[in-house]
Structure 1
Amino acid sequence: MLEVAGVTRRFGDNVAVDDVSFTVRPGALTGFVGGNGAGKTTTMRMIMGVLAIQSGEIRWHGHPATELDRRSFGYMPEERGLYPKQPVFDQLVYLGRLRGLATDAAKARTASLLERFELAGRGKDKLESLSLGNQQRVQIAAAVIAQPSALILDEPFSGLDPLAVDSMVELLREFADQGVPVLFSSHQLDLVERLCDQLVVLAAGKVVGHGSVEELRSKGGTRYRLVVDGDPGWVREQPGIRVVDSAGPGVLFELDGGDTDAVLRTALSRGSVREFTEVRPTVTEIYREVTA
């Protein structure tokens, strides 16, 4: 278990991270979302010990995380840190050896990862000669080269094409299935919704949402879509109903003490009902609501 417990970080008068707490469970993919300047990167840097924590602590398996603990974490920073003029294969082997792998094991692991990311033929190429998307793949390979005990990834999907995203998702799932806690930030909320076991939503340095997608959806309330033959304007006059949106024969509404059965009975008494559906909020809608 990786725990962020009440961490705070200030830069002068600016409180970048304000008493942030959350957990990343073993075997769980945790999405870390928030706008630019919300504090995600600063929090990840504190987890990795790159930035000092001014209050609170990072815990690993129940005890304060040590430098030795962090050496086993896989980290992909926001600002990529590989060597542009060094051949891809050589620097991955070098990084693997720095992480404690024997030379032969580092070479085998490097070859396997390059094959997986369809870069097997580019191992002798300098990093700077690759496209930005392929450089991103190499950066991901560097983060997982030494079978990390936890993964901390800052925008790992940035610049990847759809096939590379699928490959990355498969890789992260494999680590999660092995019991590795995985925390990653992303602005691609549709991907976060599809992939994550839990979410942490940050706004202005504070946690404003934390839980599974379903838990956050349940807090966001439920809406209903009604599509009828004719004008559904009468729904606005139903007691206990708040119309959110209306277009043509369709209307989206929320309950405010009202009864869906009563709405449906009224609709049927007026003519045909083409659709009557419960609509759960998406992660994008949840994000907009909790960060408003």
Structure 2
Amino acid sequence: MQIGMIGLGKMGGNMAQRLRRGGHDVVGYDRDPAISDVGSLKELVDRLEAPRAVWVMVPAGQPTRATVDQLRDLLSEGDIVIDGGNSHYKDDQRHAADLAARGLGFVDVGVSGGVWGIDYGYALMVGGEDAHVQRLMPIFDTLKPEGEDGFVHAGGVGAGHFAKMVHNGIEYGMMQAFAEGWELLEASDAVTDVPGTFKSWRHGTVIRSWLLDLLVRALEADPDLAELKGYAEDSGEGRWTVQAAVDHAVPLPAITASLYARFASRQTDSPAMKMVAALRNQFGGHAVASVEGQKAKGADSPGADVTPPAEAER
């Protein structure tokens, strides 16, 4: 079938290529004229035959909202807009209602697969009306991995991005668990082949996974990870997962802790831990390293002007 693809970056560009390999007619638009098939969104819409299908693959938030708003004014009744970015599911619901007032369909798709998806396929989590999803199945069948798995029509509008949000929250927790295990192995004198240990877990163990395969690949390239800085951004979906858990009163201790660990990675000198160090020094005279390299006070000198309460932590 024919489809418009807006956003030809690492994900959108590779998806467009996979679709073309599958025999589909893809008209791509990107702000970079060097990789764009058309010069504007209007030209893209004009190149497509009605009823049109247009896939939006731009950053979530305002870029997606602005693109959907423009398409609302350019498309015709019966056309469908697909949001394949990492949008919030509540944005999907607003977009669907806004587009429906113009006779336009809306489908949200959570996409997972990264840069490897072009060859191995993308996991697709789809939300929308049955009729809209069925019309787009030729596209979904080409993008997803071969076989029966890798695709789900998760529910109505917003369900695709909600499922992807939870997927990414789980991913945060799994990545953090692998990272903590690696740090402990590195700190131990008992294990002398840390990369080999992880490699041995790729077969026959209950934690074998694609993430483990990627971890082994990273260690083969840089066994001590010396070329990397211990800093990790979050895409936003980890935060949304935790917020959704609060909204639904669902406990997510592992996922929440993994999100906070990413926040901690951005602090070269934790303000909170400064206060912990200061308090320990006040009540117990514990050693404290000052910014100026001040010598720590002795353990038996909490300060002449402070009398610690009897119940103070020791």
The normalised TM-score by structure 2 is 0.24
Q: Which has the higher contact order (CA 8 A, sep 6+)?
A: 1
Larger proportion of strand: 1
Task: Select the structure of larger CA radius of gyration.
Answer: 2
Q: Give the TM-score normalised by the residue count of structure 1.
A: 0.25
